[in-house]
Copies of this chain bind each other. A is one copy, B any other.
Amino acid sequence: MTPTAEIISIGDELLYGQTLDTNSHWISGKLDEFNIKVYQKTTIGDNEEQILKAFAEAAARADIVLITGGLGPTKDDLTKPLLAKYFGVKLVRNEEALREISALFAKASREVTAVNVQQAELPANCEKITNPVGTAPGMWFYENNTVFVAMPGVPYEMKRIMTDSVLPKLQKMFGENIIHHHIIKTIGITESSLSDLIEDWELSLPKHMKLAYLPTMGQVKLRLTAMGTHLDTLMREVDDQEKRIFPKISKYVYGYGDEQIEGIIGQMLIKNNQTLGVAESCTGGYLAHLITSIPGSSKYFKGTIVAYANEVKMNELEVKAKDIETYGAVSEQVALSMARGIRNKLKTDVGIATTGIAGPDGGSEEKPVGTVWIAYSDQYISIAKKFNFARDRKFIIHWTALAALNLFRLKYSAK
């Protein structure tokens, strides 16, 4: 039987529209990876009656109750005393928790205060879960066939506790099977087209394997999951299945797992000890921002010229006035001149460029908002490609930047 879970998020700030609850979203994604079904999510305020009622209702519905928030050291943090009340136990000092908190403070050269000592007092029936990055320990309860877990609401503390302790413990307790995930990351194809392309293969997968499409803006992740008893076997099976389908989708696959397209192009450049320069018009710096969001990008990324004004395109990027006049600033000719121009200007091995109409104004019948040219140039080839991203400004900027990174991936790897 698939175990069911309920997530309870506690905190007034979640009900006033102040804080967006990303915790329960992240937790549901992780539980899904572990084949645990989330049955309900409940968000409530810092209110005794409500919290106790939510505990009881959740316990009646689910095998696992995951609670975030309300573990801080102040008076409005009620989760810990109410868990003690709910289970009818006392708070007792957990010496190991106190040592862990003291160690954290020592590391930051700060004194442990009375408030922090209080944070080491936990309900008598719980198992302490180490919080390696904060002063509120996690708690694990198992009563009446239901697991209760309480974690801080600070996202990076909750994530560490889940990853280091809670998910392995849940897998040990509920995992009849070993679960192996393999994530294939694609770009340049929509979810429905990808689905059409691999439908036969998907239908032919053995029963203990399943495929999930996880689309994000401009990309589709494929998650291939295998369940069984031996990890080695599962890994081999997943590998074999990927080999079967890879030839059909290889054009769109840029990476695996947590890899990002902006990181992948960096790896390609580092491998060849080459450098990149960028010329942007409609993306206005966003393409450079994606590239430089990768730590260590200074190794291969020399710089960008954002040429918003036509005179900057002409003065800095080899764009000819005649081309702008004849073809317009959003054209194949201008995109190519920009890509070649930035390469010469910054003396890089490769140049990529974007020019387009991000809107909301500036469109015409011939070139509506969303018309975009991107270009790639290296010592062997220079090529430009046209796109139509007919959506809002933010979307057009994002998709154009992704398309430029993808053009780099396809053309640079083709050598």
**Which residue of chain B lies nearest to A347 when distances are taken between CB atoms in the complex?**
B311
* Tally of chain A residues near chain B (CB < 8 A): 68
The distance in angstroms between the C-alpha atoms of A42 and B54, with both chains bound, is: 11
A284 engages B295 (CB within 8 Å): no
A20 engages B17 (CB within 8 Å): no
Q: Which residues 340-370 of A sit at the B interface, judged by CB distance below 8 A?
A: 345-347, 358-362
Binds B, one of A43-51, A147-155, A242-250: A43-51
What string of 1s and 0s marks CB contacts (under 8 Å) between A282-320 and chain B? Answer: 011111110111011110011111111101100010000
**Which residue of chain B lies nearest to A393 when distances are taken between CB atoms in the complex?**
B295
B306 engages A292 (CB within 8 Å): yes
B308 engages A305 (CB within 8 Å): no
- In the complex, what residues of B have CB within 8 A of residue A43's CB? 24, 40-43
B298 engages A302 (CB within 8 Å): no
Give min CB distance, A63 to chain B, whole Å. 15
What string of 1s and 0s marks CB contacts (under 8 Å) between A9-20 and chain B? Answer: 000001111101
- In the complex, what residues of B have CB within 8 A of residue A30's CB? 17
B293 engages A289 (CB within 8 Å): no
Give min CB distance, A356 to chain B, whole Å. 12
Query: Is A235 in the interface zone, CB < 8 Å from B?
Result: no
B312 engages A302 (CB within 8 Å): yes
B302 engages A304 (CB within 8 Å): no
Q: Tell whether A361 pairs with B296 under 8 Å between CB atoms, given A15-B38, A40-B43, A309-B303.
A: yes
B312 engages A308 (CB within 8 Å): no
**Which residue of chain B lies nearest to A41 when distances are taken between CB atoms in the complex?**
B43
**Which residue of chain B lies nearest to A45 when distances are taken between CB atoms in the complex?**
B39
B285 engages A286 (CB within 8 Å): yes
B41 engages A15 (CB within 8 Å): yes
Q: Which residues 1-34 of A sit at the B interface, judged by CB distance below 8 A?
A: 14-18, 20-22, 24-32
Query: Is A214 in the interface zone, CB < 8 Å from B?
Result: yes
Query: Is A271 in the interface zone, CB < 8 Å from B?
Result: no
Query: Is A403 in the interface zone, CB < 8 Å from B?
Result: no
- In the complex, what residues of B have CB within 8 A of residue A28's CB? 14-17
B39 engages A293 (CB within 8 Å): no
CB contact between A286 and one of B214, B289, B361 (< 8 Å): that residue:
B289
Query: Is A394 in the interface zone, CB < 8 Å from B?
Result: yes
- In the complex, what residues of B have CB within 8 A of residue A187's CB? none
Query: Is A397 in the interface zone, CB < 8 Å from B?
Result: yes
